[in-house]
Amino acid sequence: MTDALTMPLGDRAAPVLASFARRRLMSFAVPVVILAYLLYAAISFDLLGLAQRARMDNAAILMSDFWRHKTHVTRDNRTGDLAVAVEGEVKGAYPKGRLPDFVTVANGVTTIDLGQGHSVVYDAAGARYHHPDAGTIAIRPDGNRLVLTGPEPRPDWINATGTRVSITTEAGRLAYTRSKVETFRYSPGWPLFFFTPDSPFAFMSWPELGAAALLGERLDPRTPNIAAMARDFWTNPMWRHGDVAWAMFETVLMAFLGTMGAAIIALPLAFVAASNMNPVGPLRFALRRVFDFIRGVDGLIWTIVLARAFGPGPMTGALAILLTDTGSFGKLFSEALENIDEKQVEGVRSTGAGAMQRARFGVIPQVTPVLLSQVLYYLESNTRSATVIGAIVGGGIGLLLTQAIQTQKDWEDVAYYMVLIVLTVIAMDSLSGWLRRKLIKGG
């Protein structure tokens, strides 16, 4: 500085101006470099090809499945039997003699109200679709062929061959073959979330349920209604709430066991790896390289190796988290130990304390807040990683999630699991924040 002051003004300004010029160049160069890199990435990821390959129809299925469901109303054309089932599944089938509000049967004529002015009628002659704008489309079997009368020229939402007719509108869908006629009606919401039709509580409204739970007569003489309700909900075959809750719990269990186990193992090791605690240099060096190795090999590879030895399940996931985090904790803890204030340790030493007592009364109280906050932070982030690890080792909610996604039809299950995972992660987040505040301030 003093040198600069004695220099003439022009000389003093030169480096400053040069630094300005450099900064100005940087402020243009950095965005250009970023843009160039993104451009390169877009080309190498084949973004243009992707836009053509994208399956927007799949996206539509996915989005609509998230918030609505369909009910299949099927008539067997040979026997005339009518079946109503949610998503066409056996476990969602309505019992005989009970129909949803939008289906009415009178004198052998079935009427299905699709909403928005659309409706479908099944009768002895065949089936009719009433469209509010296009009018009525009638289908009747004629020998081996199907005859369709409807608007001409035929709109593209009607697809008819001699043996099969399908009508797809925004309100629903009708499919007619010689053997059966089937209508899909869409309704908002997740279907049968609480009870499936085989439960006696399936068709009760909320007040009715409340009354049945508290004062109603026992529907099943062996158990009280409220217990039966809990049982029917817990074992709901469509949503499997019990299994899902267990899977979610397993995921949290993996995170808890893994993180805490890693912390318990890493704490003594960190004392050995900290330069102010352990005078033996080579041992320190070796242990540090072990930590680096564990972290470098990475959770993915540990998970694969451990899954081979222990099979699927939460213990495998917990061990994978434990192993990976032992490396991270060993590094973090030993750094925390190296940064302590030596005065307190000396104070304890002056009273004649041994190594263990110095560690217990001089070191641990200083590092506890730092270590606890790191452990809690990892616990929270591991709850999220346990989902992925579960998907790889085959345990917990990660397994259910990948299964539901791979079947490519139960998207409402995927949405349900997502909501559960997000809620659990947020709960763990607040729990660990609360504990951190409590323990660190209180301790």
283 binds other proteins (CB under 8 A): no
Q: Are 219 and 200 in contact (CB under 8 A)?
A: yes
Q: Are 325 and 303 in contact (CB under 8 A)?
A: no
Q: According to CB under 8 A, which one of 15, 311, 347, 354 is a site residue for other proteins?
A: 311
Binders of other proteins in range 177-196 (CB under 8 A): none
β-pairing, 172-177 vs 180-188, is antiparallel
CB of 11 to other proteins, least distance (A): 23
Residue 174: phi, psi to the nearest 5?
-125, 130
254 binds other proteins (CB under 8 A): yes
Token readout for 135 is 């009018």
414 binds other proteins (CB under 8 A): yes
Strands ordered across the beta sheet of 103-106: 103-106, 109-115, 118-123, 126-131, 135-142, 145-149
CB of 195 to other proteins, least distance (A): 27
CB of 303 to other proteins, least distance (A): 8
Bridge partner list, 145: 142
Strands ordered across the beta sheet of 180-188: 82-86, 68-76, 180-188, 172-177, 164-168, 158-160
Q: Which residues of 293-314 are buried (b: 16+ CB within 10 A; e: fewer)?
A: ebbeeebeebbeebbeeeeebb
**Interacting stretch for other proteins, rule CB under 8 A, among 95-103, 160-168, 255-263, 275-283?**
255-263
**Interacting stretch for other proteins, rule CB under 8 A, among 5-13, 247-255, 279-287, 352-360?**
247-255
1 binds other proteins (CB under 8 A): no
Which of 28/206 has CB closer to other proteins?
A: 28
- The residue count for binding other proteins (CB under 8 A) is 65
**Interacting stretch for other proteins, rule CB under 8 A, among 38-46, 173-181, 267-275, 333-341?**
38-46
Which of 157/293 has CB closer to other proteins?
A: 293
Give dist(CA 24, CA 7) in Å, integer. Answer: 26
147 binds other proteins (CB under 8 A): no
240 binds other proteins (CB under 8 A): no
213 binds other proteins (CB under 8 A): no
Binders of other proteins in range 370-389 (CB under 8 A): 384-385, 387-388
**Interacting stretch for other proteins, rule CB under 8 A, among 1-9, 54-62, 190-198, 277-285?**
54-62
44 binds other proteins (CB under 8 A): yes
Residues contributing to the site for other proteins (CB under 8 A): 34, 37-38, 41, 44-47, 50, 53-56, 58-59, 62, 250, 253-254, 256-257, 260-261, 292, 295-301, 304-306, 308-316, 318-319, 384-385, 387-388, 391-392, 395, 398, 401-402, 405, 408, 414, 417-418, 421-422, 425-426, 429
